[in-house]
Amino acid sequence: MRLSWKICYLDGAGGSMETSHDIRFQDASFAEFLLKSSIVKPGSEPHLVRWVGMFFRLRGKWQNYLWNEQLDFFLAHLSHDRTIPRWQVVQAEQAVRLYFVHFLGTIKKPEPLVEIDEQGMFKRDAAFEQLVTTMRLKRYARRTEKTYMIWLGSYFRFVRTADPACPPGKINGDPRYVKEFLAQLAVRRNVAAGSRTKPSTRCCSFSGLF
């Protein structure tokens, strides 16, 4: 059995190819997803759909990059427009991440990278090794690598606190912990949505699971 997750945005890390789901904006389905979910503020759905639509119209300029890298360019583009306030740039980022991580995560399965045992556990050190290997293959700066490692470590500590029964050196692979971790940071710790070291950008992306 294997744990279906990919180390952050290297993706979704590992440099996997995008699928047809990624290339074509499924606006109607995304809107329906938002309306049925409880993760966005009621009434914000049309604005979120609009931002993702704008992202898809512009992403062709950066077609040689993965979606998360294209997002950086997109946010820079919006930030340079003085008519767009900062809070809308943050909302645009939230919209694109909701689309690729939460929405597309419900309709496609990622390729497994880290093995998980019959108890639903995976080796902590193996995950760190996979992260380092992936980042160095993509020639990320060592400072960026360190930041990813810090966030991934924070996530692992969160999981071990939530599940104290984890054996030494093991982490529970239940995908619900990803949602809970990001929710805690966003709500309780007030992590800025546009932070360059945000966990949803710099820690881990459990593709297809949240």
- For 205, the enclosing helix (H) or strand (E) is strand 204-205
Interatomic CA distance for residues 156 and 182, integer angstroms: 12
Beta strands 114-115 and 121-123, pairing class? unpaired
Interatomic CA distance for residues 7 and 205, integer angstroms: 6
Residue 193 has pLDDT above 60, yes or no: no
Q: What is the pLDDT of residue 139?
A: 73
pLDDT digits (tens, 9 = 90+) for 78-105: 999 999 999 999 999 999 999 988 888 7
Evaluate whether 47 touches 72 at the Cβ level (below 8 Å).
Answer: no
User: What's domain 113-203's architecture?
Assistant: Orthogonal Bundle (1.10)
- Helix/strand/coil for 94: helix
Q: Where are the domains of the chain?
A: 17-109, 113-203
0.75 exceeded by pTM: no
Interatomic CA distance for residues 18 and 49, integer angstroms: 20
Interatomic CA distance for residues 57 and 86, integer angstroms: 21
As a 3-state breakdown, the chain gives helix, strand, coil percent values, each rounded to 5, of 55, 5, 40
Looking at per-residue pLDDT, the higher value among 56 and 140 belongs to: 56
At 47, the pLDDT band (50, 70, 90 cuts) reads very high
Question: Tokens 């074509």 appear where?
Answer: 24
At 196, the pLDDT band (50, 70, 90 cuts) reads very low
